[in-house]
Amino acid sequence: MTIATVTTDINIGPFKIPSNGQNMIMNNYANRNNLIVELVIPEPMMSNDLATTQWLHKDYKFKHIILTSIHQLPQKKNKIKILIKKLRKVTFHFALEGLSGSGKVFLDSCCKEARIFKNVPDLEKKNLNWIELHKLMKKSFK
Task: Name the domain count of the chain.
Answer: 1
Q: Is residue 131 part of a domain?
A: no
76: containing domain? 2-121
**pLDDT tens string 55-83:** 999 999 999 999 999 999 998 999 999 99
Name 138's bridge partners. none
Domain of 63, CATH number, reads: 3.40.50.1390
Q: Residues 41-48: what's their mean pLDDT?
A: 88
Q: Is residue 60 part of a domain?
A: yes
> Residue 99 is which amino acid?
L
Q: Is residue 7 part of a domain?
A: yes
**pLDDT tens string 91-141:** 999 999 999 999 999 999 999 999 888 877 776 666 778 887 777 777 766
Q: Is residue 112 part of a domain?
A: yes
User: What kind and span of H or E run contains 65?
Assistant: strand 62-67
What is the average pLDDT value for the chain, to the nearest integer? 91
pTM equals 0.85
Q: Is residue 53 part of a domain?
A: yes
CB proximity list for 63: less than 8 A, separation 6 or greater? 1, 2, 3, 90, 91
Q: Is residue 110 part of a domain?
A: yes
Q: Is residue 44 part of a domain?
A: yes
Q: Tell me which DSSP letter residue 76 carries.
A: S
Tell me the CA distances in angstroms from 41 to 45, 80, 99, 123, one per residue in order: 12, 19, 20, 33
Q: Is residue 33 part of a domain?
A: yes
